[in-house]
Amino acid sequence: MENTILLVDDERSLLDSLERALGGEGYTILKAGSGVEGLRQIMRNRVSLVIADLRMPSMDCAEFLAKVKEAYQDAVRFVLAGNADMKDAAALKKCDAARYIIKPWNDDELKGAVKDALGRFNLVAENRKLSEVVKKQDLALKDLSANLEKKVEEKTRKIKENFFAFVKIFSNMMELYDHNVGGRSRRVAAMARRLSAKMGFDGSDGELIETSALLHNIGLIGLPREMIDRDEDLLTADERELLLHFPKVSQDLLSSVDTLRQAGIIIRGCMERFDGKGWPDGLKGEEIHIGSQIIAISAFYDRFRHGAKRLTPREILIKIMEERGRSFDPAVADAFFGFLGEWLEEERAFESEIDGPEIMRYHITGIRAGMVLAENLTSARGRLLVTKGTVMTEALIERVLKFHQVEPVADCACLVRSSARA
């Protein structure tokens, strides 16, 4: 996204210095010598960031920035102030600015502050655009349905079938990589879809949230499995850094597919917190897409319900209450409290559906391609042949059978899990 920065100061030399500091960063730079001239620029241009001096003639900074906010609420507002100015707390508070830049500034620090602010601005804009796109798509489908109901219904059905078939390929990739990650994603997707419906997000909105939930862990593919299952407190600094990047990796993996770009934006926001202390972008409150917040609370419940530190639904509910307004949007948390009773009634049937009795013991000659080992495959002497979690292929089965002729597999049987699901 191309960003425009408006610089406002009555000192021409300061404007020129600011322009030199930011001019090589790919931004469009506008300059104004007063608040009045700055407002004219705002009316003519879509401005992402305004940097205004605290002390300006004719119109003070607080009045100018208030008019900027009224004209374009999303524009980020910085105030330029000297060391003496910083002692005037009342004047600074009136400005309602996102950041204060102290004169003389450090060019690198200024560039970093501007880059962070515009990155956040662009992400909020993308989230808003996503919501508008979803609404427009829904209206378009309804309009088509009114005129060509049968034809549209058939075409929509085929598109959805193809889309969800494609999504299932991604989901199966996670399943083959790690059964626990795959199962967790399916449970969270089911919960997020039902909670979305409870909150009034159905149709294309509900499907988008469900798809995002189903794929929200895809960025974990490639990380060591033992790292994924380990408690966060036990991770090394390097491992924690890798884990912090997985929402971005998930978005990057999906961004090349047009129909999954919207899901990528939602997935990127799943680790954000309502109080702004999440990652990777530090979004706060309504800056976080509602789909991201629904998935986050569903994943939180699933982690404590099915993870290493298992808690009762009541204990999890208490944790969510404690995080209401911190990790979770109060509105989403309140909806979850009312929804949990219904979910608990469905949970047993759902778990039976996706985690039902599919582990079976086969003789080594009964193993087929596509099956996933649920335990290590060893010889009668205890020699490790194939590790747990390996997807059996024709070539691998052939090698195991040849070894079996020389040294029998323990008890001539192995425990496997079929990865083929309806």
Q: Is the pLDDT of residue 151 over 90?
A: no
Taking residue 82's Cβ as centre, other Cβ atoms within 10 Å add up to: 13
Cβ proximity of 219 and 247 under 8 Å: yes
**Amino acid sitting at position 299:** A
Which of 28-42, 129-143, 146-160 reaches the highest mean pLDDT? 28-42
Q: Place 355 in a pLDDT band, splitting at 50, 70 and 90.
A: very low
Residue 254, classed as helix, strand or coil, is helix
Average pLDDT over residues 341-350: 73
Cβ proximity of 52 and 74 under 8 Å: no
What is the predicted pLDDT for the residue at 273?
94
pLDDT, tens digit, 9 for 90 and up, residues 198-237: 999 988 898 899 989 988 888 877 676 666 666 666 677 7
Q: Give the tokens for residue 152.
A: 């549209």
Taking residue 175's Cβ as centre, other Cβ atoms within 10 Å add up to: 20
Contacts 24+ apart (CB under 8 A), 290-293: 290/199, 290/201, 290/329, 290/332, 291/192, 291/196, 291/201, 291/205, 291/208, 291/209, 291/212, 291/266, 292/212, 292/266, 292/267, 292/268, 293/269, 293/328, 293/329, 293/332
Percent of the chain with pLDDT over 70: 76
Average pLDDT over residues 304-311: 81
pLDDT, tens digit, 9 for 90 and up, residues 246-274: 888 888 888 877 778 899 999 999 999 99
Cβ proximity of 60 and 28 under 8 Å: no
- More confident call, 151 vs 110: 110
Residue 256, classed as helix, strand or coil, is coil
Least-confidence region, from 260-274, 316-330, 369-383: 369-383
| Phi-psi sector, 414: left (phi>0), alpha (psi -120 to 50), beta | beta
Least-confidence region, from 3-12, 79-88, 129-138: 79-88
Q: The tokens 């990796």 sit on which residue?
A: 249
| Phi-psi sector, 202: left (phi>0), alpha (psi -120 to 50), beta | beta
Q: Give the tokens for residue 347.
A: 């949970």
Average pLDDT across the chain, whole number = 80
Q: Is the pLDDT of residue 418 over 50?
A: no
b (16+ CB within 10 A) / e for 9-42: bbeeebbebbeebbeeeebeebbbbbbebbbebb
Q: Is the pLDDT of residue 415 over 70?
A: no
User: What are the phi and psi torsion angles at 67 (to 5°)?
Assistant: -70, -35
Taking the C-alpha atoms of residue 167 and residue 165, their distance in angstroms, rounded to an integer, is 5
CB-based contacts of 268, cutoff 8 Å, min separation 6? 123, 247, 248, 250, 251, 280, 281, 292
Name the β-bridge partners of 324.
328
- pTM, whole model, 2 decimals? 0.48
pLDDT, tens digit, 9 for 90 and up, residues 54-99: 888 778 888 888 888 888 888 899 988 877 666 666 777 778 888 8
> Cα dihedral sign for 226, 302, 216, 330?
negative
Q: Where are the alpha helices (DSSP H) in 216-371?
A: 225-229, 237-244, 246-255, 261-268, 290-306, 313-323, 330-355
What is the predicted pLDDT for the residue at 321?
93
Taking the C-alpha atoms of residue 10 and residue 21, their distance in angstroms, rounded to an integer, is 18
Taking the C-alpha atoms of residue 344 and residue 18, their distance in angstroms, rounded to an integer, is 58
Domains, the chain, with CATH or none:
4-120 (3.40.50.2300), 148-355 (1.10.3210.10), 359-418 (3.90.105)
Taking residue 138's Cβ as centre, other Cβ atoms within 10 Å add up to: 14
Q: Is the pLDDT of residue 386 over 80?
A: no
